[in-house]
Structure 1
Amino acid sequence: MATRPDDLRARLEDRADLLEATRLRYRALKGVLESFFWKDRMRNHFELLREVAAVQPEVDATLAALKRRSEAEAWPRDAAPVKLMLEVSRLREAVDRAAMRRLSSGDAAPVTLGEALLRLEVEVLDAGPLLGGRVWAQAVELLPRNLPELRAACAAGEVFERVFKRPVSEGASAFSEDEARELARALPLGAASLVALWERLERYDSRGRVKDFLQRRMRRAPMRVPRSGPELLLHAAFWHDVARVRVRAVLEAELAPVVPREVELPALLSWHAARRSQPELRLECGDTFTEGRAGLVEAAAALAALSHERPRGAWSEETAWARLEQAAHRARTEEGPEVEALRDALRLFVLLRGQARTPARLFSPGSAKPAALDVGGTRDLLSLVQAARHAALRQGGG
């Protein structure tokens, strides 16, 4: 039974909206590609080109499905949905012909219309010179707002702005557990996206003026809502830089004297968040951490916690020291300046606790460091931890 014309539009559901939007995009892009100064016009419409390329697979699938359905159900050709489908198909063929005509013939022909449009963008940017001659105009041309890398950078930037724009009272945590997990996901996403965007500028701006101009401005706090591609890049880059500095400050305070590396920040954030509810959680080794490095970070975190605030209760303190001993055993093969700095921190811990046990009448230059002399030449982390534990527990017992 044939479908009534009145029901056709409802049966298309959201695909009708897709085809309506595609019809408008095709008309505009067809006009650009068929114009005499098409390259100049294309530079002002890279966002339109990318929008068409992004939805092209969905459009092709929709047209094919609707064609099969209209034939199977005998839709009348004068029905509005059928007219829309046929017009979009004609416009698609016209855009495809125009794009293929504008592409250089040196490379193999692209398989799909979307691929042809993206290749056309590359050829136009490679051809130069950029329209306008002004640096900001060039930046707008090189950074369409719908670049996937720019969208990803903006998504990460929104997380950073939401977490770090609010004021933090003294002594309060810089971010919650849930926010730490969000930051752990956003940091690598933002970093990779920004690298891709700077590489894009470097590729198409041979003299480097656009990249230099934007990098000089990226440390300025955004004063208004970003709208153009360069403004979105500057907004994302600013908040990514703020997030890196703030996250590093929090982690360095918890891990001193060990300094977290850039590549370690996301994993350390996740571990930092989970340890609030699971203090015994181990730091997993793998692509980011070796076994020794993971143990070194755990030992630094455990020592910092014991130095800042003494655990409450005998069992809690025993557990904290046992955790530090396990971490030191895990880091036994690690060497380097940070390991030596951790040894010095343990020796200082023993020294300070040893001084607290020295009676005032016996205090003299010769007897000021009795505990430190015992461990001054010790390089084994586990031995130093055990000496620190003995000094702390003896002090607590006295």
Structure 2
Amino acid sequence: MATSPDTLRARLEDRADLLEAARLRYRALRLMLRGFFWRDTLRSNLELLREVVRDQSEVDMTLASVCRRAAAEAWPKDSASMLLLAEVSQLHEALARLVARRLRTPTKPPVLADALLLLEEELLAEGPLLGRRSWAQAVELLPRNLPELRAACAAAEIFERIFKRPVIEGALPFNAAEADEIRRALPLADTAKAALWSRVHRFDPSGRLTDFLEKRARRVPVRTPRSGPELFLHAVFWTDLANSRLRTLLDARFSPVRPLAQEWPELLGWLVEREVSPDVRLSASAVLSEGRAGLLEVAAELASLSHSRPVGAWNEEAAWARLERAARRAKGEQGPDMDCLCDALHLFIRLRGQRETPARFFSMERERSLSGFTPPSLAEELADLPGLVLLARTAAGRPAAERRRG
């Protein structure tokens, strides 16, 4: 029994649309490469080349699987589906031969997608045409359908939505769900941005285009981006702004320690949880060791105690208990961050508290002249982090009568 054309197309399902799109792209790309000024034409249509590269692996698998199925089920050769398969296969072979002729390298990649990418690199490596301006060169280097550009734009959309709105001073600019979005977007944005800048540097040996884009990236985007360079500048601006805002926020929340960039995703969600429950612990992970997590907990508690008076109920004893628990967790850590924490505790021990009972203990603004103070004892100098916390807590305690006088 003969199979109807409609039934054959239904068997192709959505692969028929993929093959028809490939047929149109192959035709257009072949016409460009056959022209006398094919370099100029292809430079202006690198997005089409990227679309062919993007779908080529799926097209190859579809051609192979559908051809096997057609042979097994004996599809009629004059059916629309078989004609489509035959034409796409012929165009694929013709395009592969044409690309091989246009390539300058003696070694031709056997895969069409690899050959097209190599042809793109050869074109861009030639540099801008005579009289070509920086923006036109940027359009060539940054087609809109670059995978790295799409990833950078997806992350920048999250950053723009969160960091564009006004925030109350001292409050976190994101909630738990948004912190999770930022956590996932940060490594994506950094990787994509680095790949895009690497692409620009590779095809801009003079550095003129790089300087042009770096200056433009510092401007606030004022309109919806449409071209590849506009999307790139939009993504770079919001990614840089997000990194700057997060750096400022984390430095304030963990002073005197400066968290590393790779630790940021781990800390954002914990900060949100800590706003609700101060006793929540910072979990260790592949990025944060147990000691490093404890050290950051100590830094967060010290920074919290260094800010202005809290609003609402605040339990001083609970704050000291959290600080002691975190110090025991970070006892084995070494390095500059540990030295900074110990210096902050030594400062408080030297000051011995103030006449007025402070709600915040470790603020550098509260430092008075140290003249007349007795140097710390040997026990203080040799104390480890938990010992310094205990000495600081002891130094903060004063008789009730003295507190009433203060």
TM-score normalized by structure 2?
Answer: 0.84
Alpha-carbon distance in 2 for matches of 1:247, 1:105? 46
Deviation of residue 9 (structure 1)? Answer: 2.3
Call closer, same or farther: CA 1:374–1:317 in 2, change over 3 Å. farther
Match of 1:186 in 2: 185
Which of 383-392 and 296-305 deviates more? Answer: 383-392
Call closer, same or farther: CA 1:366–1:391 in 2, change over 3 Å. closer
Alpha-carbon distance in 1 for matches of 2:215, 2:253? 32
Match of 1:303 in 2: 302
Match of 1:51 in 2: 51
What code does the residue aligned with 1:235 have? H
Contact 2:273 2:280 (C-alpha < 8 Å) held by counterparts:
no
Deviations 1:45-70 (A, max 9, x none): 21111110110111111112222222
Alpha-carbon distance in 2 for matches of 1:175, 1:39? 48
Match of 1:328 in 2: 327
1:225 partnered with 2:224: yes
Secondary structure of the equivalent of 2:223?
Answer: coil
Match of 1:383 in 2: 387
Match of 1:9 in 2: 9
What code does the residue aligned with 1:8 have? L
Deviation of residue 157 (structure 1)? Answer: 0.7
Alpha-carbon distance in 2 for matches of 1:357, 1:208? 59
Deviations 1:89-131 (A, max 9, x none): 2211111111111123423x31311111111111222233446
Contact 1:375 1:384 (C-alpha < 8 Å) held by counterparts:
no
Match of 1:137 in 2: 136
Contact 1:296 1:327 (C-alpha < 8 Å) held by counterparts:
yes
Contact 2:380 2:388 (C-alpha < 8 Å) held by counterparts:
no
Number of positions where the alignment pairs a residue of Structure 1 with one of Structure 2: 389
What code does the residue aligned with 2:81 have? P
1:212 partnered with 2:211: yes
Deviation of residue 176 (structure 1)? Answer: 0.7
Call closer, same or farther: CA 1:310–1:390 in 2, change over 3 Å. farther
Contact 1:3 1:73 (C-alpha < 8 Å) held by counterparts:
no
Deviation of residue 300 (structure 1)? Answer: 0.8
Call closer, same or farther: CA 1:395–1:175 in 2, change over 3 Å. farther
The runs of 5 or more residues in structure 2 that have no matched partner are 359-368
1:245 partnered with 2:249: no
Deviation of residue 353 (structure 1)? Answer: 3.8
Contact 1:283 1:294 (C-alpha < 8 Å) held by counterparts:
yes
Contact 1:325 1:385 (C-alpha < 8 Å) held by counterparts:
yes
Contact 1:378 1:384 (C-alpha < 8 Å) held by counterparts:
no
Secondary structure of the equivalent of 1:106?
Answer: coil
Which of 326-335 and 250-259 deviates more? Answer: 326-335
- Root mean square deviation, CA, Å: 3.2
Which of 325-334 and 12-21 deviates more? Answer: 325-334
Contact 2:47 2:145 (C-alpha < 8 Å) held by counterparts:
yes
Alpha-carbon distance in 1 for matches of 2:258, 2:47? 42
Aligned identity (percent) is 54
Match of 1:90 in 2: 90
Call closer, same or farther: CA 1:171–1:396 in 2, change over 3 Å. farther
Alpha-carbon distance in 2 for matches of 1:131, 1:17? 40
Alpha-carbon distance in 2 for matches of 1:98, 1:36? 13
Deviation of residue 167 (structure 1)? Answer: 2.0
Alpha-carbon distance in 2 for matches of 1:228, 1:275? 42
1:75 partnered with 2:79: no
Deviation of residue 389 (structure 1)? Answer: 2.6
Contact 1:132 1:138 (C-alpha < 8 Å) held by counterparts:
no
What code does the residue aligned with 2:164 have? K
Match of 1:39 in 2: 39
What code does the residue aligned with 2:262 have? V
Secondary structure of the equivalent of 2:327?
Answer: helix
Call closer, same or farther: CA 1:338–1:239 in 2, change over 3 Å. same
Match of 1:345 in 2: 344
Alpha-carbon distance in 2 for matches of 1:71, 1:22? 22
Which of 258-267 and 95-104 deviates more? Answer: 258-267
Alpha-carbon distance in 1 for matches of 2:123, 2:346? 65
Match of 1:269 in 2: 268
What code does the residue aligned with 1:386 have? L
What code does the residue aligned with 1:390 have? T
Match of 2:150 in 1: 151
Alpha-carbon distance in 2 for matches of 1:283, 1:226? 40
Alpha-carbon distance in 2 for matches of 1:89, 1:38? 23
Deviation of residue 173 (structure 1)? Answer: 2.4
Secondary structure of the equivalent of 1:356?
Answer: coil
Contact 1:152 1:193 (C-alpha < 8 Å) held by counterparts:
yes
Call closer, same or farther: CA 1:6–1:184 in 2, change over 3 Å. closer
Which of 128-137 and 303-312 deviates more? Answer: 303-312
1:125 partnered with 2:124: yes
Alpha-carbon distance in 1 for matches of 2:151, 2:370? 63
Deviation of residue 347 (structure 1)? Answer: 4.2
Deviation of residue 338 (structure 1)? Answer: 3.9
Alpha-carbon distance in 1 for matches of 2:244, 2:216? 18
Contact 2:155 2:188 (C-alpha < 8 Å) held by counterparts:
yes
Deviation of residue 87 (structure 1)? Answer: 1.6
Contact 2:138 2:229 (C-alpha < 8 Å) held by counterparts:
yes
Contact 1:163 1:175 (C-alpha < 8 Å) held by counterparts:
yes
What code does the residue aligned with 2:385 have? L
Match of 1:175 in 2: 174
Call closer, same or farther: CA 1:367–1:33 in 2, change over 3 Å. closer
Contact 1:311 1:317 (C-alpha < 8 Å) held by counterparts:
no
